[in-house]
Copies of this chain bind each other. A is one copy, B any other.
Amino acid sequence: MVNSYTDLVPTPDRTSLDAIVRAASDLLESDGLPGVTMQAVASRVGVRAPSLYKRVENRDRLIQLVAEATLADLTARLDGLSSVAALADGLRAFSKERPAAFRLVMTPGTGTPVASGAYRAASERILQLAGELAGEEHTLEAARTVTAWATGFIIMELNGGFNLGGDVTRAWEYGVATLVEAITAARPA
């Protein structure tokens, strides 16, 4: 039985969760994390702030979704690479294209727990390659060493933390070479 305006003209949705997450990602990169306000996101998708709550629980959850989307992009980006050095370079390149998103994912600070499955997916290739280098027994330690080094290096670089002069890219290459060699050398016979 037709008995209301709603039944006759179901207004088509004016936005979507996907568009919201994308708008938040754009704002994150252009205005930083504090710039990702519900109002700014809403205005970007052509809606008022309260409407966002039909699709996202709250702001924290939205930031979390941005982090997870970023990890998915990163995983895709690293997928084809086949050496530890290429992987490290890919991670660094990604950090330069999307520094704010990279920071969000790698140093979420408090209050934004990201589904660990997303990290696992992104770590898959480094585990594989580290295993080849270090031997099965040291796979996990080797992968952690390389990941920690690359992450730390990139974060320091993004923060302008290398203020003692010198060639930063040279330090990067020195680090990759040093680590790969060391891990290979530590391989059990």
Contact = CB atoms under 8 A, between A and B. Distances in A.
Contact of A109 (B33, B127, B148): B33
Interface in A13-51: 32-34
B186 A32 contact: no
A103 to B, nearest CB: 6
A163 B103 contact: no
Contacts of A110: 32-34, 100
A34 B34 CA distance: 12
Most buried by B among A149, A151, A166, A177: A149
Copies of this chain per assembly: 2
A104 to B, nearest CB: 9
A161 interface: yes
Contacts of A10: none
A106 interface: yes
Interface of A: 32-34, 100, 103, 106-111, 113, 116, 119-120, 123, 127, 138, 140-142, 144-145, 147-153, 155-156, 159-166, 170-171, 174-175, 177-179, 181-183, 185-186
17 contacts: A32-B110, A108-B159, A109-B109, A120-B163, A140-B166, A141-B166, A141-B170, A141-B171, A144-B153, A145-B174, A145-B178, A151-B155, A178-B179, A178-B186, A181-B182, A182-B182, A182-B185
